[in-house]
């Protein structure tokens, strides 16, 4: 398609052709039914993702058109954020979107609880988790509106220098 051709052309300028070919092979390997798009079950076929509680959030972020599937362009855009070439701003934006479940540009108390609950499961009682969430919101919320903006998120998370750990070899 025209969209794919123009996107591929822009990628060739910003990424090595070999990387695109490697991603294409990885995409085809994940695409178990050969449909040309990836679903949750395709990702869950990877043993390293089966135990990851954030897989569904990551898939939701990759799925920019919201159709419940990830096509090749969405796959490349999503994965490129984790490549060595991905910049710190891209990684911060992605990490923020993991917590911004309703996509309103803010992390609410409920959203933070929801994502952390998925991560800790039953290892922490809800009351203790809620206390941690309340403390986190209070500490990060610089403007006092009861939620965390992207700027506030970057201020807190940027100090941790975690983006260097957000590199995945696909």
Q: What is the pLDDT of residues 5-34, one digit of tens each?
A: 334 444 444 445 677 888 889 899 999 899
Residues 143 and 101 grouped into a single domain: yes
Q: Are residues 57 and 112 in the same domain?
A: no
Neighbour count for residue 112 (Cβ, 10 Å): 23
Domain C-terminal end among 41, 56, 81: 81
148 in the same domain as 112 = yes
Claim to verify: residue 42 and residue 63 sit in the same structural domain: yes
6: in domain: no
Full residue range of the structural domain in which residue 77 is found: 15-81
Specify if 152 maps to a domain. Answer: yes
Q: In terms of domains, do 53 and 97 share one?
A: no
Element (H, E) at 38: strand 37-38
Per the structure, the count of domains in the chain is 2
Measured CA to CA, the distance from residue 97 to residue 3 in angstroms comes to 25
Looking up residue 139, the CATH number of its domain turns out to be: 1.10.238.10
**How confident is the prediction for the chain on average, in pLDDT?**
82
Nearest CA among 63, 153, 138 for reference residue 106: 153
Predicted confidence (pLDDT) per residue in 26-80, tens digit: 899 999 899 999 998 888 888 777 788 888 898 899 999 999 999 999 998 888 7
My answer on whether 33 and 74 are in the same domain is: yes
Same domain, 67 and 115: no
Q: Which helix (H) or strand (E) holds 95?
A: helix 88-99
Place of tokens 């939701």: 60
- Over residues 97-106, mean pLDDT: 95
């Amino acid at each position: 398609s025209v969209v794919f051709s123009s996107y591929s052309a822009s990628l060739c300028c910003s990424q090595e052709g070999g990387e695109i070919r490697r991603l294409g092979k990885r995409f085809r390997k994940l695409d178990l039914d050969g449909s040309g798009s990836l679903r949750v079950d395709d990702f869950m076929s990877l043993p390293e993702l089966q135990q990851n509680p954030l897989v569904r959030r990551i898939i939701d972020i990759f799925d920019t058109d919201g159709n419940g599937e990830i096509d090749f362009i969405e796959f490349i855009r999503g994965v490129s954020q984790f490549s060595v070439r991905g910049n710190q701003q891209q990684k911060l934006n992605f990490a923020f979107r993991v917590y911004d479940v309703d996509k309103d540009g803010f992390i609410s108390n409920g959203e933070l609880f929801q994502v952390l609950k998925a991560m800790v499961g039953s290892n922490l009682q809800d009351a203790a988790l809620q206390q941690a969430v309340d403390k986190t919101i209070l500490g990060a919320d610089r403007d006092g509106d009861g939620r965390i903006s992207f700027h506030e998120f970057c201020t807190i998370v940027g100090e941790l220098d975690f983006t260097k750990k957000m590199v995945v070899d696909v």
